[in-house]
Structure 1
């Protein structure tokens, strides 16, 4: 007596890709999308270069009392501004646009891990920031006789300032992406405070020419400490005399930047929204 045909064995469900794998794929997609937007590419890379050339051409010669040229001083500061621009500004605007056009809402309804979306964004930010730094340093060396450090500890300082600075700025950008009401207002809402922050953080205007209350405000935010850290790397001991305290205060810079990493993470976890205000 023959029995009923045996049911085929159930196939095991294929394991989902890891966050690292999907994050890498998202990073490639974000990078391809970024470089296809020619206007954004030109602005991101050309803006700090134009400022470097303009300020280097207007303010010639050495800073009084030092052998450091104004162009070298601006180059070191613009590196900090470029790193924060690539992270805070690009993420703040980009995520606001993704939220407004429904991209975030659609991604939230897919099996894509939420962490993969942010990993992809951060990978793109890292690439853009590193390219910005390399270009500014190359111009500084070729046009303004900027000396690259030959001491290992100064490159180590560059590494931790870069990592803490870009991490804190990226988290701040993710948190700030919820402020714009729409994609149209994102650029103004995110870019305006960043531009103001550059003027009060020692990027364009020396601290010695700023009122004390503006210095106090700038000291709260990461950009001042990023620029100060990068000046310590590329200007060395000679540049310390240009700081308000006669020192780069690297221990305090590490403390403030680390606090922004922790604070930015808390802000992101408590305020980030996948839906826009119009989505309910």
Structure 2
């Protein structure tokens, strides 16, 4: 049939520009997880470190707080849950991204058509899987061997969800910012040392209620203290709230401080995150 000028013109829709950000992000997430679990040394250290530290603390400090029925072992489980988030989302992520910037991986990825958001989605998926995996292992050990009661009330698990979400988001954003401190293989202590100090003053290695008031005040400026307190409110009985410095779980203040750190981390990340080192121009 011969087309005429009056025939309607059929316009072919333009071809898609390629896979979307979310699809590429899923592919990056799968790649990040494969790379992580193929490194047996990294997997062993990541999952064994919080377990070993918890078992050491639980064997050294063993007493029950009168009137609460809570043992120090149960408190240490909640602290290690919070530090697992900090370790995976801030410390581990900053070291990994810093090394990728140092060896030129970030610069090469930035030169590809991959949307930057897809790279971050891949990293976020990795730290979420790792931190939740640590939480499952610690909760299993705590409930089987140290009398930790897993909550049955949905409200407690909702509290766990928002404390985890806000804490992991804040720590991930701060981890991306702290990656700028990693200039090479010797840059790790610049991140590891502050993280270690925060663990001591935030209720991970030392029960928070037993810390000097000055250290409690300093720790209250940072997210780890509130993550620990939030986890205690989920897995410890309400009777223990009286032991807290404020005499309550302070859920509102916990949410406010963690949300503030999410905003601060986002602003710092947008302003200071770099795809290449300063010496590369």
Please give the TM-score of this superposition, normalised by the length of structure 2.
0.93
Q: Tell me if 1:24 matches 2:16.
A: no
Matches within 5 A, 1:140-151: 140-151=142-153
Matches within 5 A, 1:207-246: 207-246=208-247
Matches within 5 A, 1:44-55: 44-55=46-57
- Deviation readout 1:123-182 (Å, 9 max, x if unpaired): 0011001100000000000110100111111111001000000000100101111122x2
Q: Provide the rounded CA distance (Å) in 2 between the counterparts of 1:100 and 1:205.
A: 36
- Tell me which residue corresponds to 2:6: none
Q: Which moved more, 1:184-193 or 1:219-228?
A: 184-193
- Contact kept? 2:99, 2:184, Cα under 8 Å: yes
Q: Provide the rounded CA distance (Å) in 2 between the counterparts of 1:68 and 1:141.
A: 13
- Deviation readout 1:20-51 (Å, 9 max, x if unpaired): 00001001111111112222111110000001
Matches within 5 A, 1:46-125: 46-125=48-127
Please give the TM-score of this superposition, normalised by the length of structure 1.
0.93
- Relative to structure 1, is the Cα distance of residues 186 and 34 closer, same or farther in structure 2, using a 3 angstrom cutoff? farther
- Contact kept? 2:68, 2:237, Cα under 8 Å: no
- Contact kept? 1:200, 1:218, Cα under 8 Å: yes
Aligned residues: 271
Unaligned runs of 5+ in 2: 1-11
- Deviation readout 1:68-106 (Å, 9 max, x if unpaired): 111101001110001111101111111100100000000
Q: Tell me if 1:278 matches 2:279.
A: yes
Instruction: Report the alpha carbon displacement of residue 12 of structure 1 after superposing the two structures with TM.
Output: 5.4
Q: Provide the rounded CA distance (Å) in 1 between the counterparts of 2:156 and 2:280.
A: 49
Instruction: Report the alpha carbon displacement of residue 206 of structure 1 after superposing the two structures with TM.
Output: 2.1
Q: Tell me if 1:134 matches 2:136.
A: yes
- Contact kept? 2:25, 2:118, Cα under 8 Å: yes
- Contact kept? 1:229, 1:253, Cα under 8 Å: yes
Q: Provide the rounded CA distance (Å) in 1 between the counterparts of 2:61 and 2:114.
A: 51
- Tell me which residue corresponds to 1:4: none
Instruction: Report the alpha carbon displacement of residue 64 of structure 1 after superposing the two structures with TM.
Output: 4.1
Unaligned runs of 5+ in 1: 1-9
Out of 9, 14, 17, the position equivalent to 1:15 is: 17
Q: Provide the rounded CA distance (Å) in 2 between the counterparts of 1:149 and 1:209.
A: 26
- Tell me which residue corresponds to 2:45: 43
- Tell me which residue corresponds to 1:3: none
- Contact kept? 1:97, 1:186, Cα under 8 Å: no
**RMSD, matched Cα:** 1.6
- Describe the SS at the equivalent of 2:180: coil
Q: Tell me if 1:258 matches 2:259.
A: yes
- Tell me which residue corresponds to 2:170: 168
- Tell me which residue corresponds to 2:250: 249
- Tell me which stretches of 4 or more aligned residues in structure 1 moved more than 3 Å: 10-14
